[in-house]
Structure 1
């Protein structure tokens, strides 16, 4: 396992592609694809939570030519272009890395592999341990004492030198020679025609290296291999140059910059909110501004009269009908919540079966006092899912008129495919973690009716 001074280097481009193909049909509030970002962020958060890396960075490819295309103009020519819906997510992936506290590293004319190879070399010079986070077998060539590969796929797989030999069949320092012989059709690395992975392993195992193999190609037993090596020795050498990960990229190594100092909560919250990653928001929610709270349970006609007077003076009220069940045409009205401003809330208990309500109000008394402001169209009614509340209240002879703002409908218009629960909206827009109803009444078959919950619960 990693020591306290371990540098984690993430093969960002490969992990982004993997996330893109692993998750499909995920879009943000604006309808744009977010699958690659979400998958990448999920991987990165898990990596950080599981391994607490002291030092970390993510390397990415840049668009444009590289030194490899200067060696072979048709290098990667067979690869299809990056899909448009992935291309538009690249900037978000980079932003997510930086928001989570992970530096993004790139260099013109070099690939992410070379950036990682160079940082690995420089880290070893500073006596650091290195973990390369990738699923790409090309990185096996970098494994050596103090350098491991971690593939985050499934539950995660670690590869040291023994692991590379077990997985790939040769020692890490022979991997590049096997890759050069077998070639890579996807990257258009020619290799030696007719020699596949198995044959390449056998030849390198026997001759030790590509250089020695080419020097003694006449000693190869299989005629087909012998002739191919004689005819394509130059292709083999060019292929070796193409598959070799460079360790001399002119990129600085700043240990302080690489040191992990945690996420930047404000950036995470802003980015993930804009992308619609609501499940992640609670980890980065800003501290809510301190608001003086004025919460009361209305138990007497005098208190209710005072509340009605305040509603009339302010000219607006937020309402929520609390019921014993969801379907509004069958629900019993258990209580009514009202608010005239930030930090202000009043609760009128109506049908609590608990014995501690202390209320002297009857539904008739409540109806006599509250009905007028509820039907006054000059008093704005605000709420969440007011269709439900107004149906319930209407069935109890408390009709509601003058509805001006329903946050459920507003959110639906902004994001048709998203979730519209009040708790999620409070977290997303206010950074406020609302108490879930299930935490009060329970869930499943053991859930209580709201009418059985003490008011002070």
Structure 2
């Protein structure tokens, strides 16, 4: 066990940096019912909970800038003088953030006259270099890049970007210890460090790469040819030592260096729940509450007609039902139905197996139609789902048309937060309920190559599918309440939801495609592309890979001596984009042929070849 503890990484969180980033991360206002601004607290809370949930750190510390001047202010009076005071709406949130960090059981560090970066530098160099421990600096601050080493990495959870020694060297071509030389030359506008006038990050990087350090650069100045850069470096020579001192991190701050001091403590659930309720963070409560979020005890499999009839009779008179289907494919117009799950009142849910290939008892689809069809066509019973359009198409294709679609948690999630990258149920459950869903990979892990969901044992499918309708039912209540609070209910209920069956109708009807016409077009395009390829090679004088921008640039600009109109976005070569080729076509026939080749190639691959793959073999439609 002792060896395992030694290997546990130590997380050092740049609290002050994230406090500001959280505050300015979104224009959306967050205010509690008592009028307290809560945006920074909410964003930081989510970030910390994510770190604790996904990384489970044993050793961790949150560092803060101390109020008042530091040694850098003594060295340079204008240090950070360009920064405005902390916004009042942010300053009132600081005590809440500190309470939150304490309640989460995370050690906090603040040293008078010292910045958080220097505390991190002291701990990172002590634990990483002296003790050989893995250190993960949680920050997006470029100043901390100089700490990266064999044992120290920089991770920004807001962007999910990690910089280790390898990636640093690949990106900058330097050792991390040289990075403050770069900052000395280019300056740091955030800290009001001017650097050398006219020297930006690229020039600074080039100089440090060549001369290794500011000191060596100044020694070699006499050997520079006369230039503005030489003059500027000479003029700034006396100040460069100061800029380097300001951008260097102090690793001798008086803090505790025993790793055990930074062991994560027990979470204070009572304090956290009190804080969340005070700030109206209701959606975060399930993430820290010890009460079980979901119970699977009330899930059941229905494998015979009488049980199905009895269960449906028990649930007669309900206002709504949550429905989910399990199938053999994500393509609703091709997938076969494997099972249906229903939830009238959570946590109770039932799974109806109809298409498993496991040899287990299941319901005949005709029996399911007989008993479910009246329920699905009942216009008084609201049908709810997660991406219910998919289920609507699947069920309709299997003789089970649904009426009265009343809700879709995927659509609700999008309306509540359009900036969210994903609206799948796994992420919705995690963020809204603090619940980890059974993943599709877990359920299908033991399947052989080429086997689909129909080969999943019925018991496993039941847990997976019933959890889906259970979670959807719980989330639906939460989302519907939020939609009403935010004035989005009319848009949701009168526009988005009624549109679902319309879109399903359109998808199921599809567009009839002339297959033979597509084949003839493919043949025609292929023939013309072959002709164009020959014409291009004749004009170039040799064969080359037309689709390689590098080879094409060589042919156009080096061999044909055509004008280089603009560089690529990465500035690594010259562009051969449409705009450039159109301009060059006015003075040479080769670019004109290339444009035709590109257009025809795109038409063939994207539309002619692509459309044929999308044709439903049963209907001949897309």
On whether the aligned pair clears a TM of 0.5, the verdict is yes
Unaligned ranges ≥5, structure 1: 289-322, 327-426, 428-434, 446-457
Decide which of 121, 125, 134 is 2:125's aligned counterpart: 121
Name the counterpart of 1:267.
Answer: 271
Give the number of equivalent residue pairs: 303
Identify if the C-alpha distance between structure 1 residues 148 and 233 changes in structure 2 by more than 3 Å, giving closer, same or farther.
same
**1:438-449 to 2 correspondences below 5 Å:** 438=473
Task: Pick which of 29-38 and 117-126 moved more.
Answer: 117-126
Unaligned ranges ≥5, structure 2: 293-316, 321-432, 434-469, 481-496, 499-622
Identify if the C-alpha distance between structure 1 residues 68 and 437 changes in structure 2 by more than 3 Å, giving closer, same or farther.
closer
Looking at structure 2, the residues matched to 222 and 179 of structure 1 have their Cα atoms a distance apart, in angstroms, of 24
Name the counterpart of 1:277.
Answer: 281
In the alignment, structure 1 residue 7 sits paired with structure 2 residue 10: yes
Under a length normalisation based on structure 1, what TM-score does the superposition of the two structures give?
0.62
In the alignment, structure 1 residue 28 sits paired with structure 2 residue 54: no
Looking at structure 2, the residues matched to 261 and 222 of structure 1 have their Cα atoms a distance apart, in angstroms, of 61
**1:272-351 to 2 correspondences below 5 Å:** 272-285=276-289, 324-325=318-319
Task: Pick which of 202-211 and 3-12 moved more.
Answer: 3-12
Alignment partner of 1:116: what SS?
Answer: helix
1:286 is displaced (CA, Å) by: 6.6
Under a length normalisation based on structure 2, what TM-score does the superposition of the two structures give?
0.46
1:110 is displaced (CA, Å) by: 0.8
Name the counterpart of 1:19.
Answer: 22
Decide which of 218, 224, 227 is 2:222's aligned counterpart: 218
Name the counterpart of 2:111.
Answer: 107
Name the counterpart of 2:143.
Answer: 138
Name the counterpart of 2:56.
Answer: 52
8 A contact 1:15–1:134 mirrored in 2: yes
Name the counterpart of 1:245.
Answer: 249
8 A contact 2:57–2:264 mirrored in 1: yes
Name the counterpart of 1:196.
Answer: 200
Name the counterpart of 1:187.
Answer: 191
Deviations 1:256-279, CA, capped at 9 Å, x for gaps: 221124422111111111111101
Name the counterpart of 2:164.
Answer: 160
Deviations 1:350-397, CA, capped at 9 Å, x for gaps: xxxxxxxxxxxxxxxxxxxxxxxxxxxxxxxxxxxxxxxxxxxxxxxx
1:437 is displaced (CA, Å) by: 11
In the alignment, structure 1 residue 233 sits paired with structure 2 residue 227: no
1:103 is displaced (CA, Å) by: 1.1
In the alignment, structure 1 residue 41 sits paired with structure 2 residue 69: no
Looking at structure 2, the residues matched to 19 and 286 of structure 1 have their Cα atoms a distance apart, in angstroms, of 27
Over aligned residues, Cα RMSD in angstroms?
2.9
Identify if the C-alpha distance between structure 1 residues 41 and 229 changes in structure 2 by more than 3 Å, giving closer, same or farther.
same
Looking at structure 1, the residues matched to 17 and 243 of structure 2 have their Cα atoms a distance apart, in angstroms, of 21
Name the counterpart of 1:95.
Answer: 99
Alignment partner of 1:282: what SS?
Answer: helix
1:8 is displaced (CA, Å) by: 0.5
Name the counterpart of 1:83.
Answer: 87
Name the counterpart of 2:297.
Answer: none
Deviations 1:87-116, CA, capped at 9 Å, x for gaps: 111111111111111111111111000000
Looking at structure 1, the residues matched to 278 and 74 of structure 2 have their Cα atoms a distance apart, in angstroms, of 40
Looking at structure 2, the residues matched to 79 and 121 of structure 1 have their Cα atoms a distance apart, in angstroms, of 29
**Structure with the bigger percentage of strand:** 1
1:228 is displaced (CA, Å) by: 1.1
RCO higher in 1 or 2 (8 Å CA, sep ≥ 6)?
Answer: 1
Looking at structure 1, the residues matched to 258 and 285 of structure 2 have their Cα atoms a distance apart, in angstroms, of 31
Looking at structure 2, the residues matched to 287 and 56 of structure 1 have their Cα atoms a distance apart, in angstroms, of 26
In the alignment, structure 1 residue 175 sits paired with structure 2 residue 162: no
1:436 is displaced (CA, Å) by: 9.2
Looking at structure 2, the residues matched to 21 and 437 of structure 1 have their Cα atoms a distance apart, in angstroms, of 32
1:176 is displaced (CA, Å) by: 0.5
Identify if the C-alpha distance between structure 1 residues 439 and 5 changes in structure 2 by more than 3 Å, giving closer, same or farther.
closer
Runs of 4+ displaced beyond 3 Å: 166-169, 283-288, 323-326, 435-445
Looking at structure 2, the residues matched to 110 and 16 of structure 1 have their Cα atoms a distance apart, in angstroms, of 17
